[in-house]
Structure formats: C-alpha cells, structure tokens
Amino acid sequence: MDIVVPVKMVPDLVEELEVNAEGTDLDRSVMKLRINEFDEHAVEEALGLKGRHGARVTVLAVDTGDVDETLFTCLAKGADRAVKITGDFQNGVSSHTMAAVLAKVIAGMPHDLILAGVQAADDRDGQVGVLLGATMGLPHVSVVTGVEPAGDKAVSVRQEYAGGLVAELEVDLPAVLGIQAARQAPRYAPVSKVRQIMKTAKLEAIAAPAVDAGAGSTVRRLAKPEVAGRAEFIEGSPEEVAERLYAILTERGLVK
Amino acid sequence: MLNDVAVVLEHMEGVLAEVSFEMLAKGRELARASGGRLVAVLPGHGVRNLVDELGAADVVTLVEHEALAHYTPEAYVRALAAALTALEPRAALVASSSMGLDQAGALSVRLGWPLCAYCRDAHLDGDGLSAVSQIYGGKLLAEAVVQGAHAICAMLPGAAQAAEGRAPGTPAVEMISPPDLVALPVRFKRLIRPEAGDVDITRESVLVSVGRGIQSQDNIPLLEELAHALGGALSASRPIVDQGWLPKTRQVGKSGLSVKPKLYVAVGISGAPEHIEGMRGAELILAINTDPGAPIFDVAHYGVVSDLFDVLPLLTEKIKSRA
Ligand SMILES: Cc1cc2nc3c(=O)[nH]c(=O)nc-3n(C[C@H](O)[C@H](O)[C@H](O)COP(=O)(O)OP(=O)(O)OC[C@H]3O[C@@H](n4cnc5c(N)ncnc54)[C@H](O)[C@@H]3O)c2cc1C
Ligand SMILES: Nc1ncnc2c1ncn2[C@@H]1O[C@H](COP(=O)(O)O)[C@@H](O)[C@H]1O
C-alpha cells in the first residue's frame, strides 16, 4: 500500500502572534513555525500501518517555509520518501490553492491512502484534506482516529462525533482521511538520528504546478478578539495567589 | 432563490443537534437582511417528524433517501449538493462539527462556492456577505469579504443563541430526491457508544481539568490531589487523552463531553475553540496558564498567569489543612 502524508507548518501558538501593519495577515517575518500537531498523528498512523501491514510512506510538504527539518524528522521516524513542493508560498496560500497544488502532485505518484491532518489552526477557507479529496474526486472522511485495512481495496476507519460517539465506516481506496489522532501517541525521533539522516538522505524537490484557485474571499481585518468578559486576573506571589483563590472558593461555598 | 439562506441541519439518532438551532437563529438574521426565505435543509431517512421542531424556518427542504439513514460523508455530500444546487441560496450555513467538516469543504469544491471556516459570525449588508472566522486556536479573528453570488459558512457551535432558533409551528415541506446514491465508496458499519467510565464527568460539580501544560503523566497525581481536596474529579483536554494519560471518558470538548459543573479549574489548557465548546457553560471557571494571551482567559471568570506548579500545590495544601 502506498500512503501519502501531506504535512504542514503552522505558527507555534504558544508564541505571541504579530499582525502585519495592514492588519490583514500575520507578520510572517517573525513567526516561529512547527509541524501541525494533527500531521504528527497522520504520520504516526501511516507508520503504524506500515509496521503492522507493510506500506510505503511518502511525506509531502508544500514549502511554506522551514519544512526541511520536519521532513527529515519524518524520514528519521521511518518514512520512505520525503518530497518538498517548491514555489512562491512565503506569503501564505489559501486552502483551496493548497489543495489544488497537492492534488496535481499526488495524482502523479502512487497513492492508495492519503492521510492529512484533520485541520490546522489557520485554514480560514476550509480544511485542505477535505478539499483535496473533493478536488481529486476521491472519498474523504475527516475526524478519523483509527485506520485498518479491510481487504485489499478498502480501509475501516473510525470517525468521531460529539459526546464521544464514534462510527465505524468502510472506505474504498484510494481515499483521503483527515486524521485527528493516531492509535498511539506520535513516536519521537532522537535529534542524533535526525542529524544523521540530514547528512545521508536527500529531500526530493518538485516545482509546484500552476493552479487556478483562490479562497473566494479577502481578509479585511485580522485582529485579536475584543472580549466583553475577560477574566479578572489574580496577581501576586504564588502564596498570595493561592490565598486569594482559596478565598474565592470559600466565599462561593466550594470549599467546605 | 438567490436571496434565500439555507441552513444544513445536523442530527444524530433522531435528535437535532443544538448547533442546528443556533444556525437557524443566525440564518434568520441573514434572511432578514437579504429579503429571502430561511430554508432548513434536512437530509436523512425517516426524519420527517423533526420538521415539527423547525418552526423558525420558512420552509424545510427534506432530502429523503434510505442511503441517508446513517451519516456517511459521501452520501450526505451528494444529497446536499443536489439540494443546494436546486435552492441556489445566497448563503448556506453548515455546522463546524465532524460532519460539517466533511460537508462544508466538499460542497465548496463541488459547487464552486467560497467557504469560510470556523465562523463566529456572518453578515449580509450593502457590501455583500462577510464572515468572521476564529482562527489560530481562538487567538485571532479574521473578518473576510466573500466574493460571488453564493457562499458556505461553517458555523462554530456557540456562535448564536439556540433559543432564538426554536419556534413553534410546522413549516411547509419541499421534497428533493437525491440522485445516484448507489455504489457509495463510504459505507456505514456501526455506531460505537462511549464506554461508561469510573467517573461520569458530566455529573461532577467540581472538575479540575488538565491540559498539555502539565507536561508529563507524572504530574497527574498532583492535580488529582487538588481535585480530591475540592471533592471533585479530574477531566482533561484532548491531547492528554490522546497521549493515553487519562481515559477518553474524561475528555471535555467537541469530540468529548460537554460539562456544566459549579467549578471548572482549567490547568495548562490553552482554550482552543474545540475545548471551550465543552465547558463554557460552567458556573465558575478558574484558569491557570503561563501565557497571558491564552484564549481560555476569555471564558474564565478568574485567571492566573503563572506556572501551575508554583501555585496549585499551595492551593491544595490550603484546602487540605482547612479540612
Ligand atoms: C475535530 C476536532 C475535535 C477536537 N475535540 C477536542 C475536544 O473534545 N477537547 C479538547 O480539549 N480538544 C479538542 N480538539 C483539540 C484542540 O484543537 C486543541 O488542540 C486542544 O484543546 C489543545 O489542548 P491543550 O489546551 O491541553 O494544549 P495546548 O493548546 O498545547 O495548551 C497548553 C497550554 O499550557 C500552557 N502551559 C504550559 N506550561 C504551563 C505551566 N507550567 N503552567 C501553566 N500553564 C502552562 C501553555 O501556555 C498552553 O496555553 C479537537 C480538535 C479537532 C480538530
Ligand atoms: N502546505 C502544505 N503542505 C502539505 N500539506 C498541507 C499543507 N497545507 C495543508 N496540508 C495538509 O492538509 C491538512 C489540513 O490542513 P489545513 O487545511 O490547513 O487545516 C494538513 O494537516 C496537511 O495534512
């Protein structure tokens, strides 16, 4: 089975996000990027399937910046092939455009199963995995937490809904799945192994094909939310804060 | 018709999701602005009885087919694409939920209509359609102007008041029979219900909820001690459950449980929209986080910007020494 995992770099949300001078996009010059957390799960699910059933795993990234180390890390974890799609993407791209680019590239490589991350924090015009499935004319399921082969030409997947309800669905291959969580916590690649792979392995590069797809909308304003009821902050030394919290809980009868 | 507003209803096991009523409320506002009808689109099999709950809509488009008896993305998307093609609404509201994730994107590609994801709000006025998307884990809002005659908005749960979308009356029903729901590449097998856990977090009046900020499974006992001192239980954000540190029955949020305790202590939880969806109704919310910009502080009543390890053990001690 050939599994393709598109991975994406996203701003690290633990860092402060700076908006550009026009107030329409992030200031991308100061951003620290990391792999989308759901993609780590998609990679893990692919490598898990490879371990249990045998598969060839290709990791693919449209180069929106800083992807090399992420791709090498995937190789160090056990991916067979790492491909970087190069082009002018530094200023951000819409999900529709991203899906169109990925669709063309993936169409040109063997693909039985495409495991995308379920979503990323910045996809204002939709989730690339879903758009990719529809663009390629392939079946798609999002919010998936477990994938197992069901015969040669299908997989059995679990889709999660609210309230902890889960459906088991059978999906014909080739298919695109939006992975929410792998059945195991994502494996870890030791830095030494990544370093070594960086010396011995090479990333393949493919120039992005031309596509014609925008988001169909334009950002007028990007800003921090103005919230009416922001928390009342409790300040002071840890001792003072604990004292105040204790007082609040006691006043409300929550500590008896 | 070109100024109608369509709301794609979501239901599971014969029950309409809360977000469906929220979308009807928002849809009514949009329809008022566009001067069109509010059309509720109801795909399913044997769901006609739900029409009695849809008094808020002007008309219900029922897409009835046995292949829609259980939710599967492909069948629902085909059915909805047929319905929306026939309706040609100015805007179609879809839930930002597991099902909505499947549907909104696929419909956007199939119909060639722009999509705004994670919508907190949508407006129709002289300038056309605009939508406010909540992105970057709730840290930023993007207000966008949407081009074209049609658009799809994936509405976040909690974006409107469900009560305003509930109205008495049974609207007229128009039937649409979906085409080609045969040889479907996605097939429903079974529904798996959550296992009952040792603790039912939906019934606890105090929850100490742990997130990735606790850093290691070894720190769980520290928070468990606080939960016990408060006479409550531990709950968690999704990553804690995905790591296997706590069972799935303890997960609060979109793909977990919704809770409404008297006290919810959010410890090292950033407050992603998917988490907030499950706990915003708690009576008193305390949040502790090292990041002053964490969105959890937007729903918390009291916030502490600090390392959880500095403050919480002291609090636990205080409560215990009192008891
Ligand atoms: C379809 C879908 C469904 C989902 N369903 C759910 C769901 O049901 N429930 C859910 O929770 N999530 C859900 N998620 C995931 C959600 O998007 C977030 O990824 C998740 O809620 C983040 O969890 P977190 O806040 O624990 O982790 P993070 O976002 O990583 O936040 C950790 C926080 O800890 C703080 N921190 C770090 N160290 C310390 C310290 N020493 N002291 C204090 N604070 C510290 C950091 O500042 C940070 O804010 C879902 C996602 C998708 C796509
Ligand atoms: N630049 C990219 N390169 C490769 N894959 C991507 C890219 N953008 C999005 N994807 C894939 O689509 C998934 C969903 O991303 P998003 O639509 O941005 O939420 C990601 O988790 C990736 O699997």
- Does the CB of B240 have a partner CB in chain A at under 8 Å? no
What pLDDT, on the 0 to 100 scale, is given for residue A29? 81
pTM: 0.93
The two tokens of residue B21 are: 């009523």
Which CATH number fits the domain that encloses residue B84? Answer: 3.40.50.620
In terms of pLDDT, which residue wins out, A1 or A16?
A: A1
Buried b (16+ CB within 10 A) or exposed e, B129-139: bbbbbbbbbbb
Instruction: Report the chain B residue with the minimal C-alpha distance to residue A249.
Output: B263
Are B27 and B163 in a shared domain?
Answer: yes
Domain covering A2-207 assigned CATH 3.40.50.620 in the classification: yes
Ligand 1 proximity of B313 Cβ (cutoff 6 Å): no
B256 C-alpha to center of ligand 2: Å? 24
Share of chain A above pLDDT 90, in %: 80
DSSP string of A202-256, one letter each residue: --EEEEPPP-----SEEEEEEEPPP-TTPPEEP-S-HHHHHHHHHHHHHHTT---
B199 C-alpha to center of ligand 1: Å? 22
Instruction: Report the chain B residue with the minimal C-alpha distance to residue A127.
Output: B105
| Number of inter-chain CB pairs under 8 A, A vs B | 273
* pLDDT tens digits, one per residue of B52-98: 999 999 999 999 999 999 999 999 999 999 999 999 999 999 999 99
Contact A231 B263 (CB under 8 A): no
Ligand 1 proximity of B291 Cβ (cutoff 6 Å): yes
What pLDDT, on the 0 to 100 scale, is given for residue A218? 92
Share of chain B above pLDDT 70, in %: 99
In terms of pLDDT, which residue wins out, B9 or B196?
A: B9
* pLDDT tens digits, one per residue of B207-244: 999 999 999 999 999 999 999 999 999 999 999 999 99
* pLDDT tens digits, one per residue of B250-279: 999 999 999 999 999 999 999 999 999 999
Contact A216 B109 (CB under 8 A): no
Are B42 and B142 in a shared domain?
Answer: yes
| Structural domain contains residue B300 | yes
Are B160 and B224 in a shared domain?
Answer: no
Q: Of B107, B119, B132, B136, which to mutate for an interface test with A (greatest number of A Cβ within 10 Å)? A: B136
Distance of CA A119 to the CA centre of its chain: 6
CB within 8 Å of B228: residues ≥ 6 apart:
none
* pLDDT tens digits, one per residue of A94-114: 999 999 999 999 999 999 999
The two tokens of residue B159 are: 């974006």
Predicted confidence band at A47 (pLDDT cuts at 50, 70, 90)? very high
Q: Is the pLDDT of residue B323 over 70?
A: no
Predicted confidence band at A38 (pLDDT cuts at 50, 70, 90)? very high
Predicted confidence band at A196 (pLDDT cuts at 50, 70, 90)? very high
Contact A216 B113 (CB under 8 A): yes
Lowest mean pLDDT of A204-208, A225-229, A245-249, B40-44, name the range: A225-229
Are B139 and B224 in a shared domain?
Answer: no
Are B106 and B221 in a shared domain?
Answer: no
Interval B289-309 mean pLDDT: 95
DSSP string of B275-287, one letter each residue: HHTTTTT-SEEEE
Predicted confidence band at B124 (pLDDT cuts at 50, 70, 90)? very high
| Structural domain contains residue B241 | yes
Predicted confidence band at A14 (pLDDT cuts at 50, 70, 90)? confident
Predicted confidence band at B195 (pLDDT cuts at 50, 70, 90)? confident
Point out the ligand nearest to the CA of residue A178.
2
What pLDDT, on the 0 to 100 scale, is given for residue B60? 98
Are B156 and B44 in a shared domain?
Answer: yes
The two tokens of residue B3 are: 């100024």
Q: Is the pLDDT of residue A16 over 90?
A: no
For chain A, give every domain's residue range: 2-207
What pLDDT, on the 0 to 100 scale, is given for residue A92? 82
Are B262 and B123 in a shared domain?
Answer: no
Instruction: Report the chain B residue with the minimal C-alpha distance to residue A214.
Output: B114
Tell me which amino acid residue B289 is. Answer: N
Contact B284 A254 (CB under 8 A): yes
In terms of pLDDT, which residue wins out, A12 or B39?
A: B39
Contacts of residue B115 in chain A, CB cutoff 8 Å? 96, 125-126, 216
Are B100 and B63 in a shared domain?
Answer: yes
ipTM of the prediction? 0.93
Q: Is the pLDDT of residue A52 over 80?
A: yes
Atom of ligand 1 nearest to the CA of B271: 25
What pLDDT, on the 0 to 100 scale, is given for residue B81? 97
Q: What angle do CA A226, A64, A55 make, to 5 degrees?
A: 115
What pLDDT, on the 0 to 100 scale, is given for residue A155? 98
Distance of CA B230 to the CA centre of its chain: 30
- Does the CB of B276 have a partner CB in chain A at under 8 Å? no
Ligand 1 proximity of A159 Cβ (cutoff 6 Å): no
What pLDDT, on the 0 to 100 scale, is given for residue B125? 85
d(CA B9, CA B22): 10
3-state secondary structure of B264: strand
Ligand 2 proximity of A7 Cβ (cutoff 6 Å): yes
Contact A99 B144 (CB under 8 A): no
Which CATH number fits the domain that encloses residue B311? Answer: 3.40.50.1220
**What counts of helices (H) and strands (E) characterise chain B?**
8, 17
The span from the first CA to the last CA of chain B, in angstroms, equals: 66
Looking at the DSSP assignment, which residues form a beta bridge with residue A113?
A3, A175
In terms of pLDDT, which residue wins out, B272 or A32?
A: B272
A38 C-alpha to center of ligand 1: Å? 12
Domain that holds residue B295: 201-322
| Structural domain contains residue B224 | yes
Are B153 and B210 in a shared domain?
Answer: no
- The values of phi and psi at residue B267, to 5°, are -110, 110
Contacts of residue B137 in chain A, CB cutoff 8 Å? 13, 121
Q: Of A8, A12, A13, A22, which to mutate for an interface test with B (greatest number of B Cβ within 10 Å)? A: A13
d(CA B20, CA B18): 5
Contact A225 B303 (CB under 8 A): no
Count how many domains chain B has.
Answer: 2
3-state percent breakdown (helix, strand, coil) of chain B, nearest 5: 35, 30, 35
Interval B117-126 mean pLDDT: 93
Q: Is the pLDDT of residue A219 over 60?
A: yes
Burial label, A85 (beta-carbon count in 10 A; 0-12, 13-18, 19+): buried
| Structural domain contains residue B247 | yes
Contacts of residue B97 in chain A, CB cutoff 8 Å? 161-162
| Structural domain contains residue B189 | no
3-state secondary structure of B174: strand
Number of other CB atoms surrounding residue A50 within 10 Å:
17
Nearest neighbour of A181 by CB, restricted to B242, B262, B300: B242
DSSP for residue A77:
H
